[in-house]
Chains A and B, each alone.
Chain A
C-alpha cells in the first residue's frame, strides 16, 4: 500500500455541484494532515489543515477518519475558480512529510 494515496481524477463537476474526494494514508501513527491546492504551472498553496475534530472554511470542509486512515475534502457550491489539483499531505510521527500525487478537479460551466 502506498504511503499516501489519492484518486488522480480528473473529477469533472458542473458548477454549483458538491464534490468530495479522499486521501488514504498507510502510517497509523501519522500526526498532521493538510490539503494543499495547486493551480496549473503554479506552486502549491495551503488550503486547509485537517484537525481531528474536522474543520470548515466557507465552502470547504475537511475531515479526518483515523480508524479508516483517510482524510476527506468536501467542496460545496463549486466555482469555476475551484478548478485545480488538490494535494493531500501527511506528516508521520517520524516527521516524514509525504505529498500525495494529487486529485485533479475540473469545474464545468
Chain B
C-alpha cells in the first residue's frame, strides 16, 4: 500500500515570497492533517480535513496560511507571504477516519522549508 506522498521535499525561499506544498493521502483515507514541526518541538496541528470539509483550523495563521482539499483527496497548503519563523518541517498525515479505532495517523516524509 502506498504511503502518504508529499512534495516538494525541500524548499528554500526568501521572506515575503509565496510557497505551496502538496499532499496525497493514502487511498481511501477520509481525514487529512497538516502539521508544522519546528526544530526541537512536537508537531503542531495547522488544519484538519474530513473529506473536503474543515474540522479544525484553529491554529492556522489565516492571514498568511491557506489550505484546501477540493475533491476530498489530495491537498495543498500555501504560505503567502512567508516569514522567517515559518522555517519548519510541514508534515501531512492521513487516517482512515477520525475517532474510534481507525484514527491512526500515517505521516508523509514532510517538506523542509527554509525561509531566508
Contacts and interface: CB of A to CB of B under 8 A. Distances in A.
B44 interface: yes
A91 B55 CA distance: 13
Given A43-B91, A46-B104, A49-B104, A99 B110 contact: no
Given A43-B109, A44-B43, A97 B104 contact: no
Interface residues of B, number: 24
B107 A44 contact: yes
Contact of B108 (A43, A95, A98, A101): A43
Contacts of B104: 34, 46, 49
A95 B99 contact: yes
Given A43-B91, A43-B108, A95-B98, A101 B41 contact: yes
Contacts of A101: 40-42
A97 B48 CA distance: 9
A99 B42 contact: yes
Contacts of A36: 105
Contacts of B107: 43-45
B60 interface: no
20 contacts: A4-B42, A32-B103, A34-B104, A36-B105, A42-B109, A43-B91, A43-B107, A43-B108, A43-B109, A44-B91, A44-B107, A46-B105, A91-B99, A91-B103, A96-B56, A97-B45, A97-B56, A99-B43, A99-B45, A100-B42
Interface of B: 33, 35, 40-45, 48, 55-56, 58, 91, 98-99, 101, 103-110
Given A44-B43, A44-B105, A96-B58, 20 more contacts: A4-B42, A34-B104, A36-B105, A43-B91, A43-B108, A44-B91, A45-B107, A46-B104, A87-B42, A95-B55, A95-B98, A96-B56, A97-B56, A99-B35, A99-B42, A99-B43, A99-B45, A100-B42, A101-B42, A102-B41
Interface of A: 4, 31-32, 34, 36, 42-46, 49, 87, 91, 95-102
